[in-house]
Amino acid sequence: MGDPKDALALLAGVLEGASVAYAIIGGMAAQVWRKEPRATLDVDVAIRSYDALPREALVAAGFRKTGVHSHTENWEAPDGSPVQFADDEAFEEAIRTAVSLPLGDSFVRFVSPLELVRAKLRAHADSSRRKSKRLQDLADAEAVLEERPELRSELSAAERALLE
């Protein structure tokens, strides 16, 4: 498996070329919005609809579909990096407010810090997820808030309660 950032740049090119609205979420976004390193092996992508996926363009770029699960459609980049697409309507604001940041010679749309915190808190509150994943989500949310404490005031009372 190669560097997930290479897969990310290739993926962004395919999505941008097909005019797909998206936002990079998960650990890759956590790496962008915090100073401390955050290791991750996959690329998590919020999209509005699985119908919007440019499957033929993904395949032409060397991506391979590996499966469909209850919350994701999974693909593999040419270098073997896992890519997980999620079309949960809870990501609509994350997609709408995504921030375009440079990566190499291209630009990639990342979830904003506030929407990343909100997504991580939703994931943390999901009792169906493994405890280790839920704790990582909480740690990611806290790490972003430590660097951007002003975001706490934008969270709802319920979201702030999850941090306690």
Distance CA 110, CA 140 (A): 15
Distance CA 145, CA 122 (A): 15
**99 CB neighbour count, 10 Å cutoff:** 17
Q: What is the pLDDT of residues 111-127, one digit of tens each?
A: 999 999 999 999 999 99
pTM: 0.93
For residue 32 the two structure tokens come to 């962008």
Q: What's the chain's average pLDDT?
A: 94
Asked if pLDDT for residue 1 goes beyond 70, the answer is: no
Asked if pLDDT for residue 129 goes beyond 70, the answer is: yes
The confidence score (pLDDT) of residue 2 equals: 65
Q: Which CATH architecture has domain 4-162?
A: 2-Layer Sandwich (3.30)
Euclidean distance between the first and final Cα of the chain, in Å? 38
